[in-house]
Amino acid sequence: MLNIVMLVALVIFLLAIGPFLVIWAVLEWKAVLVNGADPWTFNLWCATVLLGAFLRANVTVKRKD
């Protein structure tokens, strides 16, 4: 029972904090692309991983035979 409650709490937490993390990641990339900040930082690496997970496409193509 406790595991289910913790899982639900984790999902709610990720849904609440997720948009803020994506905004932070986009702003990190903006600092590099627009302002010319140092592109080799741990923050940028974390932002890249986060955006990659957020923007990952799950595409299914059904063929008509």
What radius of gyration, in Å, describes the C-alpha atoms of the chain? 17
Q: Is the pTM of this model over 0.85?
A: no
Kindly report, residue by residue over 7-64, the tens digit of the pLDDT.
999 999 988 998 899 999 999 899 888 888 887 889 889 999 988 888 876 767 788 8
How much is the pLDDT for 12? 93
Structural domain boundaries in the chain: 18-65
Q: How far apart are CA 64 and CA 8, in angstroms?
A: 39
Q: How far apart are CA 51 and CA 28, in angstroms?
A: 11
